[in-house]
């Protein structure tokens, strides 16, 4: 794909890196940017894909391994918090070395040059670029001096980029880039962009919103031509982000504002085929898209929670399949209700591998035990109370009946034998009956009005 900007000097693209010019790319997104999402985005025409932000300390110390079942590259590490011995390793990063080769950019959350370099070294050999997140406005990022907080500390941001260029970009021969947000004053944005473009980075993405702005607020693009001009003169590729909804719209905006490429976020969350032009077919029907996503999720042995989250975004809320898939507890449940019967064997296999089936069975057993207890409580109350006596209608006795049949207080020290209470016998019988019914699945819990 050719660039739409005028000819200009380029910062050299490293041998293992990639030029951002002329590219329509998937944005870094928590949950929506995991491996299956990236694979499907590439299938439908994304030129490059960004992984979700990974904080430096979360990847430092991770161990690299190849999954023998699917050949995926997995980086796992033992959680450092909690103090529990023998904790299982948790997956930090998952990469498809075939479909993502030459197309994956690893986004790093960091506020420290040394930690940034240490973290980047872990994955540098398996990605085509390292991108520093200096645009995320969420507190979990900014509270640590990362994300959009770096916009307020340009010296720190510059030192991070320079360290990555020297210690990662050059030895591993990959590109280093940065993603920023607009500053409220154009002069400050201009000064920041000018500085970061001198660090040796190969690309810069600008989210066309300021830090306080939220996604529901329209992107502001007045500063784009100025930013694109600075990047062009420095030989740095410039991507725009914010309210870019499709490939066709992205191409139009590239020409209009003189940028080199565009990044799509929100639209991709609901339909990854937004990367496909109208001439090539446009948006895919949701069922075909979901089929592609489920295949990718199963191939990756993706975490069930993440898969279910994405399905809630991809399946239309008014469709019957939405409610059915939302209730599913396993991959097998999900592909069954979606009508992908040929995927059932693979779904069962993945459920066993990642433990989804076991957890679902444990939850079902726990719910069954809870149902037994509630049923026992309800039916015991009915038997002891003489049936359907509502709480507000319980008869009040001014005196209690003693063991001898007379009136007056019960004497707990009495040697007189207490007759067997008919209510107790009834309660015991009711309990036995309820347990039997719950065990064979025929029990219907009593209505709260009759307890």
With 0-12 CB in 10 A as exposed, 13-18 as middle and 19+ as buried, what is 139?
Answer: exposed
| Residues 410-436: tens digit of each pLDDT | 333 333 344 444 444 454 455 455 445
| pLDDT > 90? residue 2 | no
For range 81-92, the mean pLDDT:
58
Task: Check whether 97 has a pLDDT greater than 90.
Answer: yes
Decide: helix, strand or coil at residue 330.
coil
Confidence of residue 61 (pLDDT cuts 50, 70, 90): very high
Contact yes or no for 160/113 (Cβ under 8 A):
yes
Residues with Cβ < 8 Å from 308, sequence gap 6 or more? 325, 326, 328, 334
Q: What's the length of the chain?
A: 451
* Residue that is written with structure tokens 């540098």 in the block: 124
Q: In this structure, what DSSP letter does residue 125 have?
A: G
Q: Over the stretch 160-212, which tens digit does the pLDDT of each residue have?
A: 999 999 999 999 999 999 999 999 999 999 999 999 999 999 999 999 999 99
User: Quick one: average pLDDT of 265-282?
Assistant: 97
Q: Assign a CATH topology to domain 24-283.
A: TIM Barrel (3.20.20)
Condensed to tens digits (0 to 9), the pLDDT of residues 16-52 reads 999 999 999 999 999 999 999 999 999 999 999 999 9
pLDDT number for residue 386? 56
Which residue has better confidence, 420 or 319? 319
pLDDT confidence bin for 367, thresholds 50/70/90: low
Phi and psi torsions of 435, nearest 5°: -55, -40
pLDDT at 373 over 70: no
Residues labelled as active-site residues = 136
Contact yes or no for 47/24 (Cβ under 8 A) = yes
Q: Over pLDDT 70: what percentage of the chain? A: 75
Q: How confident is the model at residue 255 (pLDDT cuts 50, 70, 90)?
A: very high
What would the DSSP string read from start to end of 365-412?
Answer: HHHHHHHHHHHHHHHHHHHHHTSS--GGG----SS-B-TTSSBS---T
Is 231 in contact with 193 (CB distance < 8 Å)? yes
Residue 136: pLDDT above 60?
yes
User: pLDDT band at 312, cuts 50/70/90?
Assistant: very high
pLDDT at residue 84 in the model = 56
The answer, yes or no, to whether residue 390 has pLDDT greater than 50, is no
Joined together, the tokens standing for residue 227 give 């930013």
Question: Which of 123, 134, 196 has the alpha carbon at shortest distance from 165?
Answer: 196
Residue 152 has pLDDT above 80, yes or no: yes
Reported as a single tens digit per residue, the pLDDT across 203-245 is 999 999 999 999 899 999 999 999 999 999 999 999 999 999 9
Query: Which pLDDT score, from 0 to 100, does residue 211 have?
Result: 96
Per-residue pLDDT, 112: 98
Could you tell me what percent of the chain has a pLDDT over 90?
69
Q: How confident is the model at residue 441 (pLDDT cuts 50, 70, 90)?
A: low
Kindly report the pTM of this predicted structure: 0.79
Residue range 92-112: average pLDDT? 97
- Please list the residues that pair with 26 across neighbouring strands: 49, 264
Buried b (16+ CB within 10 A) or exposed e, 402-421: eeeeeeeeeeeeeeeeeeee
Q: Is the pLDDT of residue 298 over 50?
A: yes
- Per-residue pLDDT averaged across 235-258, rounded? 98
For residue 328, which of 354, 352, 309 has the smallest C-alpha distance? 309
Q: Do 74 and 65 meet the contact criterion of CB atoms below 8 Å apart?
A: yes
Query: Is 115 a residue whose pLDDT tops 70?
Result: yes
Q: What pLDDT does 435 receive?
A: 46
pLDDT at 447 (0 to 100): 44
| pLDDT tops 60 at residue 451 | no
* Cβ-Cβ contacts under 8 Å for 256 (sequence gap 6 or more): none
Q: What is the mean pLDDT of residues 326-349?
A: 95
For residue 331, what pLDDT is reported?
97
| pLDDT score of 124 more than 50 | yes
Task: Give the dihedral sign, CA 387/388/391/393.
Answer: negative
């Amino acid at each position: 794909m050719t660039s739409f900007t005028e000819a200009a000097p380029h910062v050299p693209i490293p041998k293992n890196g990639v030029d951002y010019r002329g590219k329509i790319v998937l944005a870094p997104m928590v949950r929506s940017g995991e491996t299956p999402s990236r694979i499907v985005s590439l299938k439908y025409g994304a030129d490059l894909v960004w992984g979700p932000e990974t904080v430096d300390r979360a990847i430092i110390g991770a161990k690299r391994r190849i999954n023998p079942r699917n050949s995926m590259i997995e980086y796992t590490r033992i959680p450092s918090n909690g103090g529990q011995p023998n904790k299982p390793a948790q997956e930090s990063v998952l990469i498809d070395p075939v479909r993502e080769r030459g197309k994956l950019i690893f986004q790093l959350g960091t506020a420290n040059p040394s930690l940034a370099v240490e973290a980047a070294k872990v994955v540098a050999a398996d990605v085509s670029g390292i991108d520093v997140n200096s645009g995320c406005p969420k507190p979990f990022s900014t509270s640590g001096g990362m994300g959009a907080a770096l916009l307020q500390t340009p010296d720190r941001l510059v030192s991070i980029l320079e360290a990555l260029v020297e210690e990662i970009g050059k030895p591993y021969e990959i590109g280093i880039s940065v993603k920023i947000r607009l500053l409220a004053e154009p002069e400050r944005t201009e000064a920041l962009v000018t500085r970061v473009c001198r660090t040796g980075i190969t690309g810069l993405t600008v989210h066309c919103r300021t830090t306080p702005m939220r996604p529901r607020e329209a992107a502001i693009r007045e500063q784009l031509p100025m930013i694109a001009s600075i990047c062009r003169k420095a030989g740095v590729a410039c991507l725009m982000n914010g309210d870019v909804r499709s490939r066709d719209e992205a191409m139009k905006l590239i020409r209009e504002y003189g940028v080199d490429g565009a990044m799509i976020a929100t639209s991709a969350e609901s339909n990854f085929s937004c990367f496909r032009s109208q001439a090539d077919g446009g948006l895919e029907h949701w069922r075909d898209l979901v089929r592609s996503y489920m295949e990718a999720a199963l191939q990756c042995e993706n975490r069930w929670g993440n898969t279910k989250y994405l399905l809630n975004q991809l399946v239309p809320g008014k469709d019957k399949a939405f409610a059915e898939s939302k209730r599913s507890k396993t991959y097998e449940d999900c592909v069954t209700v979606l009508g992908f019967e040929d995927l059932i064997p693979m779904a069962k296999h993945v459920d066993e591998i990642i433990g989804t089936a076991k957890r679902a069975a444990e939850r079902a057993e726990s719910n069954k035990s809870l149902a037994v207890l509630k049923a026992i409580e309800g039916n015991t109350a009915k038997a002891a109370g003489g049936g359907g006596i509502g709480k507000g209608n319980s008869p009040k006795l001014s005196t209690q009946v003693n063991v001898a049949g007379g009136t007056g207080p019960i004497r707990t020290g009495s040697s007189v034998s207490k007759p067997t209470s008919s209510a107790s016998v009834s309660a015991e019988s009711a309990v036995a009956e309820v347990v039997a019914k719950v065990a064979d699945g025929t029990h219907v819990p009593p209505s709260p009005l009759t307890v």
